[in-house]
Chains A and B, each alone.
Chain A
Amino acid sequence: MKAKEKRLSGMALREVGVVAIILIIYVIGCLIEPRFFSFDVLVNILLFTPVLLLISLGEMMEIISQNLDVSVGSIMGFAATVGGAIFRYDKSFPIIVVFLVTTGIGVVLGLINGLLVTRFKLPSVIVTLGTMNIYRGLIFILMNAKQIDNMYIPQNLIALSQPMKSVIGIPYTVIIAFAAAALVALFLRRFKTGREIYAIGCNREAAELRGINATRISMLVFIIAGGLSGFAAMLFISRVGYVNPVTAGSGMEFTAVAAAVIGGTSMAGGVGTTLGTVLGCLLLGVIYNSISYIGISGYWQDAIYGAIIIIAVIIEKLIKTRLVKGQEA
C-alpha cells in the first residue's frame, strides 16, 4: 500500500511539476510585461496547442509502443498541401470532406511507415527518417514547391481558429483538439488495444508470450499517428491561413517529441499519459508566447525547446532513480 502511494505520487508529481512550471513562466511573463496578463494571451496560448497536440498524441503513442515517428511533420505538411490544393481548385469544397481527405492521407502515409517497420523489422527511427524526406519531397514534386496563398483558403475554415467566431470565446480548433485528446485518453485507458499499446512498449517479448499480436498493434499506432497528423493539417491551415510546402509541419516531429517527453512519456516505452502530453503542449505554448511578448528574439525558440527536452529527460531520470532507491530502502 505504501509503495503504491509512492509510485502514484511519482506520476502525479510529474504532472503537478509541469503545471507548476507553466504557472511560474506565466507569472514571470506577466511581471516582465504587464500586457501578458490578458485574456487574449490565454487564448493565444491555447491557440498554440491544437496542431501540436494532435501530432503529439500520435507521437506519444509511438513512444509508448517503443517506436519513434519522425515523419509526422512531413505527413502533416503533405496532407495540408493536398487540402490547400483542393481549396485552390474549388474554394467552396465542403470543409468536412477535406477533413476526411487529409485524415485519409495521414492514415495511408502512416500505414506505409507501419508496413515498412513491421514487415521488414526495421528500426522506426530510420524508416521514418527516410519517409520524412520522401513525403516532403513528394510535396515539392506535386506542388512545384509553390505556396497556396491565403486567398484560396475558405473563411469558414479560418474562422475555426478565431476566438471571436466561437460562441464561448475559445476557438473551435482548441475544442476539437482537446476533444480528440479526451478520446485518446479514453482509448488508451479503457480499451483493450490501448492497454496493449502499453504492454508491447513495456515488454514486447512478454506481450507476445501472452498472445498479443505486437506487429498488429505497432501497425495500428503508425496508422493512428498518421491519421492524427493528417487531421491536424486542417487545423494548421485554419490557423496559418496559407500552406507553404517547405515550412508546413517542418520541425513539428521534434516539438511533438518534446511535448510528449516533457509530459512524462518515457523513451524506454510503456509509460506516458494523455494528460501529461496535453500539459507538455501547454508548457511549450506558454514559452512560445512569453518569448514573443517579452521581446526575446524568436531565434531563441529552438534552443530553448531543445534545452527543455533535455531538462525533462533529466528530471525523469532523477525521479526514476529516486523511486528505485525508495523501493530498496
Chain B
Amino acid sequence: MSGHPLLAAKGIYKSFGKHEVLHGVDFDLREGEIHALIGENGAGKSTLLRILFGVHKASAGTIEYKGETVRINSPMDAKSYGMAMINQEPQVFSDMSILENIFLGHLELTSARMVDYKRMEKIADGLLQKLGLNMDVHSKMMGLSVAEQQMVEIAGALSSNASIIFMDEPTASLTPDEVQRLMDLIRRLKSEGKTIVYISHRLEEIKQISDRVTVLCDGKKVGCYNTAEITIDDMICSMIGCTLGEMIKKEETEISDEPHFAVKGLTSNGAFSNVTFEVRRGEILGIAGLMGSGRTEIARTIFGVMKRDAGTIEIDGKPVVINSPIDAIRHGIALVPEDRHGLGLFLKKPIAFNTTFAASWKIKRKLGFIDRKREKDVTEKYVEQLKTKLTSIYHNVGDLSGGNQQKVSLAKWLATDPDVLILDEPTRGIDVGAKTEVYKIINQLARDKKCIILISSELEEVLALSDRIVVMYEGRQTALFDRSEINEVNVLAAAHDFA
C-alpha cells in the first residue's frame, strides 16, 4: 500500500452566505476502494463531493492528489485528475443524441480535428453493452427514463476514462432491479481498478457494496469506518448521534368530528386521478409516496396552480371552485411549497417583504401604499411565534440559514390566516435542529385547530406526525390509513403498490 491516499480533503470549510455547511471536514480516498459517504439530508455530503469536483470552492481547506496539494477550481480541473461525477439528478442535454450525451466534454476527434462519430459509436456500443443497455445511440435523450438517463451519465463517466467516479445518490430514483444492476456494475468497476465515492441513504446498499464508510453529521465528520466492522444500526446511530434523541414527537390534539376540508375524486390528467380524503380541524393528514407518485401535484391542484380535470374540493361540506392561488387563499387555503428558492421566497428581498407578501391586504393603506408599521408588526409576530433567528427583519431572506428560510416561508403563508395549511416537504434541506423546531410548529398549528396536509418524502416524518395517511403510487391513491393502522410496513407496501 502506498503512503498517500489517492485523493484527500483536509479541513474543508464551506459557507453559503452566512450559513456554514461544512465545518472542517477531512476525507480520504484510497485507490481502488468503494467509499460510501453517508449522513442525513443537509449533512454536507453533496457539498463535499461538489467541492472535490470543483463545482463549489471551499472557504478553507486543502485538497491533495497522491500526496500533493492541488487546486481544483472547476470540473475541468477535476477531470484532468481523472474524476467524473454522476449527479443526483441526471444532468442531461435532452435535445441532443444519446451518443453526444455520453461524450460531451471529451468528444473523440479524427486526425482532421473533426468529431469522430464513428469511433464514438463503437465505444458507446461497447459501453452500453457492458451496462446491459439496449438503446439506439442516435435517438435523442428526451424520452428516456431517469434510470436510463443515469445509465447514460455513467457511460459518459466511463467513456472519459475516469479513474475516480463520484456517485451522488445514484439509486434514489431506480427500481430494485435497476439498483441491483448498478451494484453489479460498481463491483465490476472496482475490479477494473476504479475508485468510487458513493452517496446513498440506503444503508443496506452501502453495507453490501462499500469498503469504507465516512459519516457526516451537520457538516462535521463523525468518523470513517471499515464497512465490515460497522453494523447498520451503528451507522444510523452515528448519523444522528449528534441529534436530539427522539426528534419527532406527535402531540395529541383535539380533533373535531366534522371534516372541514375534503377532496372527492380529485383528478389532474397526467399527474394523478381519483384522490379522495378529508381533513378535520386539528388533524394532520400525511401524504406519502415515492418520488413522482403525484404527491406534490395534489397540493398544487388543490392550490389552483395545476388544472383540476375532475373531482370536487369541499369546505365545510360545500363545494368550492378554485382555479387559481388567489381563489385558494380566499378560501383559507395556503401552500408552503417544496421548492423554497424557486417558488416560495424572494431571496433577494427583505424578510419583512417576504412575510407579508401573500397577505398584502393586511398592510395596505389606501391607494396601495404599504403601511410600514403594520408590516413590521405582522412580521415580528411571526418571527416571535416561529422563533426565527435573524438580526433584522429588513435583511434579505437569502442571508438566513435553510431552516430559518423555511420559517419565513411558513410565516408568509400563516400570515394569510389559513384554515387549511398544505406543507410540501417542510423539512427538506434543513438541519436537524431546525427540523425539530418545524415539527413543534406543525404540532402547534394542529393544536390551533388548523387542518394540516403534510407531504414528505421522509417516511419517518409522515409516520410520526400524521393522524391519517394517504398513500400514492404512480398517480393512484393506494391506501388511506387511520392512526391505528399506521406503521412502516403498511405504508411502504402501499407506496410500492404491493397490497
Contact = CB atoms under 8 A, between A and B. Distances in A.
Interface of A: 1, 3-4, 7, 190-192, 195-196, 198-199, 202-203, 205-213, 266, 270-271, 327-328
Nearest to A272: B95
A191 B105 contact: no
Contacts of B85: 209
A211 B75 contact: yes
Contact of A4 (B104, B107, B138): B138
Contacts, number: 84
Contacts of B136: 1, 4
Interface of chain B, main secondary structure: loop
A206 B92 CA distance: 6
12 contacts: A4-B136, A191-B114, A191-B115, A192-B109, A195-B115, A203-B91, A208-B55, A208-B75, A212-B76, A266-B95, A270-B93, A327-B143
A198 B74 contact: no
A198 B114 contact: no
A213 B80 CA distance: 14
Nearest to A10: B140
B142 to A, nearest CB: 7
B104 A199 contact: yes
A4 B139 contact: yes
Contact of A270 (B91, B95, B115): B95
B62 interface: no
Contacts of A199: 93, 96, 100, 104
Contacts of B93: 198-199, 202-203, 206-207, 270
A243 B95 CA distance: 42
A266 B75 CA distance: 28
B87 interface: yes
Contact of B96 (A191, A192, A198, A211): A198
Given A190-B115, A191-B114, A328-B270, A207 B104 contact: yes
A211 B105 contact: yes
How many chain B residues sit at the interface, stated as a range, is: 20 to 34
A88 to B, nearest CB: 42
Interface string B17-31: 000000000000000
Given A3-B143, A211-B76, A198 B105 contact: no
Interface in B81-104: 85, 87, 91-96, 100, 104
Interface string B114-158: 110000000000000000000010111011000000000000100
Contacts of B104: 195-196, 199, 207, 210, 212
B166 to A, nearest CB: 11
A86 to B, nearest CB: 35
In the complex, which of the residues A3, A213, A327 has the most CB atoms of chain B within 10 Å of its own CB atom? A3
B462 to A, nearest CB: 29
In the complex, which of the residues B74, B91, B104, B105 has the most CB atoms of chain A within 10 Å of its own CB atom? B104
A198 B91 contact: no
B113 interface: yes
B79 interface: yes
Contacts of A328: 270
A293 to B, nearest CB: 39
A210 B113 CA distance: 20
A271 B76 contact: no
A199 B104 CA distance: 8
Contacts of B74: 208, 211
Contacts of A191: 113-115
Nearest to A325: B270
Nearest to B77: A211
Nearest to B53: A209
Contacts of A266: 95
B105 A3 contact: no
Contacts of B55: 208-209
A180 B30 CA distance: 53
Name the 9 nearest CB pairs between A and B, nearest first.
A210-B105, A206-B91, A4-B139, A202-B93, A211-B76, A211-B79, A270-B95, A190-B114, A327-B143
B439 to A, nearest CB: 33
Nearest to A190: B114
A198 B94 CA distance: 11
Contacts of A210: 75, 91, 104-106, 156
Nearest to A186: B114
Given A192-B115, A210-B104, A270 B96 contact: yes
Contacts of A195: 96, 100, 104, 107, 115
Given A4-B139, A192-B107, A209-B85, A202 B75 contact: no
A7 B98 CA distance: 13
Contacts of A270: 93, 95-96
A300 B140 CA distance: 41
A212 B105 contact: yes
A271 B140 CA distance: 12
Nearest to A198: B96
Contacts of B106: 210-211
A38 to B, nearest CB: 41
Contacts of B100: 195, 199
A205 B87 CA distance: 11
Contacts of B78: 211
A327 B143 CA distance: 6
